[in-house]
Amino acid sequence: MTPSYQTKHFALFPFRHKNKTDMVMHVFHQARSTGDLPQTVALLKHYLPSVLEAKCFNQDDLPFCEEVKKTEVGHLFEHILLEYLCVEKVKSGVKKISYSGETTWKKKNISKFFITISAGDKDYDVWDEAMSKTIYLMNEILARPSPKSLN
C-alpha cells in the first residue's frame, strides 16, 4: 500500500469516511515523544500558538499545553491537524467549529500510530490545506533535534 503523504520523517495512510478519517502514521524518526524534541513548544508558539489552548483528554487529565511537553509524536500530529482543520474551516466562513480526535498505538510498536479525526467527506474543502500545514509543521519539529532561535 502506498502512503498518501510521505516525508523523510513519517508516512501517512488516511482512509476518509463520511464523518471521520482514520489514519495510520509510520514514524521513521528516532524520536517517538516530544520529550526527545525540546523545541516543540517553542515551535508551536511560533507557528500555531492556538494549539496550546486545545482541550486534551489524557490519562493524567493534563491540559494540552502541559501534555505536549512529553507526548507521543502521533498524538502531537493529531492535535496539530485538529487545530489547522479548525483554522481553515473558520477561514472558509464557518463561525464556530469543533473537531475531535484519538490516537492509539501498541506499546511494542511505538513507531506506528492509529489516528482518528472527526473530519470526513464534509470537510474535504479544508482537508488538503490543513494536512499540508500539519505536515510542514511536523517536519519543522522533527528536523530540529535541539532548540534553535526562531527569530
* Residues linked to residue 22 through DSSP beta bridges, in sequence order: 15, 116
Share of the chain above pLDDT 70, in %: 93
Give the pLDDT band of residue 149 (cuts 50, 70, 90). very low
Give the residue among 25, 37, 35 at the shortest CA–CA distance from 111.
Answer: 25
**H or E element in which residue 11 lies:** strand 10-16
Q: Is the pLDDT reported for residue 150 higher than 90?
A: no
pTM of the predicted structure, to 2 decimals:
0.92
For the segment 54-110, what is each residue's pLDDT rounded down to a tens digit? 999 888 889 999 999 999 999 999 999 999 999 999 999 998 899 999 999 988 888
Alpha helices in 14-106 (DSSP H): 40-47, 64-67, 73-91
Give burial (CB, 10 Å; 0-12/13-18/19+) of 61. Answer: exposed
